Amino acid sequence: MRTAKKLNLVSVDDYLAGELISTVKHEYLGGVVYAMAGARNAHNIIATNTLVALGSRLRGRSCRPFNSDTKIRVRLPTQVRF
């Protein structure tokens, strides 16, 4: 019988400290860190067009759109995600 690998969970503080010096973006899901792939040009064009359109519609309001370089913390009942 095979046994499951034990995951070494990373603390939120260690994840955030690592992101400050990393050249690769990562996703944090409940203590597990995943490297994120770079985007293709087609994706970047769509993302830019979406950001510009949202920015135009939200001008003068309290909401602001941000690009993928902005990290957000999502607190779920059982875990934290970035």
Residue 66 lies in a domain: yes
pLDDT value for 1: 62
Q: Residue 34: is its pLDDT beyond 80?
A: yes
Would 5 be classed as within a structural domain?
A: no
Domain presence at residue 33? yes
The domain in which residue 21 lies consists of 12-81
- The 10 Å Cβ neighbour count of residue 5 is 6
Q: Record the pTM.
A: 0.69
Q: By three-state DSSP, how is residue 81 classified? A: strand
In the chain, the number of structural domains is: 1
Task: Assess if residue 74 is contained within a domain.
Answer: yes
* Residue 40 one-letter amino acid: R
Structure confidence by residue, pLDDT tens digits, 68-78: 888 899 999 88
Segment 45-62, tens digit of pLDDT: 999 999 999 999 999 999
CA separation for the pair 34, 54 (Å, rounded):
29
Q: Is residue 6 part of a domain?
A: no
Smallest Cα–Cα separation from 49: which of 72, 69, 67? Answer: 67
Does residue 3 have a pLDDT over 80? no
Residue 4 lies in a domain: no
